[in-house]
Amino acid sequence: MIRYPDGRSIKEVNKTIDKKVKDLTRKNMGMFFESEITKSCDYYRMMKVADIYKRPTPIKVVKMKGTMINEAYFQEKSTTDYVGIYKGFYIDFECKETIHKRVPYTMIREQQYAHLKMITELGGIGFFLVHFKTDDSCFLIDAMKIIDEKNKGERKSFSYEFFTENATIVKRGYNPPFYFIEALEEEFKNKFSLS
């Protein structure tokens, strides 16, 4: 058997590399998707269609050295990623991305379920944008469909089929990268037809 100078086999080295790639993928999961959604929000704002912003995560700075933050912590649990207004409706949504053909219930934090439920009860529009990296498909789904499915307690995750049957597909483009306002119109057509 051939070994590296430090004594490890090729199999051991490959295992270490695979673990580092998986860890890196998990750490950055959703970052590119969110940046594309932010670009879409910028496009819709520029076109005066909707005013939607990425919600900043509230942090408390503890130590600074000059202009560099050395220590900080989250002040409170975050709720959702984006907030804004469209056609007079308050909208609030969360983005999720997965490399699998399912979205585990635990991928959505309990405070996010509760927050989006409250938004809906108060007359706003709460939804999820879910991106499946496996086939680059994106779905927009009413938050209440997600909450109702979870509350059934029949499974531990939302399947890809659940989204194909219950959500609206979000088309891809160049500018905007994701046509989520068009999908929002389709998903909530009953609400928009009343206004």
Neighbouring CB atoms inside 10 A of 89's CB total 16
pTM greater than 0.85: no
Structural domain contains residue 68 = yes
What's the pLDDT at 62? Answer: 74
Structural domain contains residue 122 = yes
Structural domain contains residue 25 = no
- Domain of 146, in residue numbers: 30-194
The CATH number of the domain holding residue 73 is 3.40.1350.10
What's the pLDDT at 24? Answer: 43
Structural domain contains residue 65 = yes
Structural domain contains residue 162 = yes
Structural domain contains residue 182 = yes
What's the pLDDT at 20? Answer: 52
Residues 167/158, Cβ–Cβ less than 8 Å: no
Structural domain contains residue 3 = no
For every one of its 195 residues, what pLDDT tens digit does the chain have, with 9 covering 90 and above? Answer: 666 667 677 777 667 665 654 544 454 556 889 999 999 999 999 999 999 999 876 667 777 888 887 777 666 567 888 999 999 999 999 999 999 999 999 999 999 999 999 999 999 999 999 999 989 999 999 999 999 999 988 889 999 999 999 999 999 999 999 999 999 999 999 888 766
How many residues in total does the chain contain?
195
Structural domain contains residue 8 = no
Q: How many domains does the chain have?
A: 1
Closest CA to 170 of 189, 188, 183: 183
Residues 140/183, Cβ–Cβ less than 8 Å: yes
Q: How far is CA 126 from CA 12, 38, 79, in A?
A: 47, 17, 12
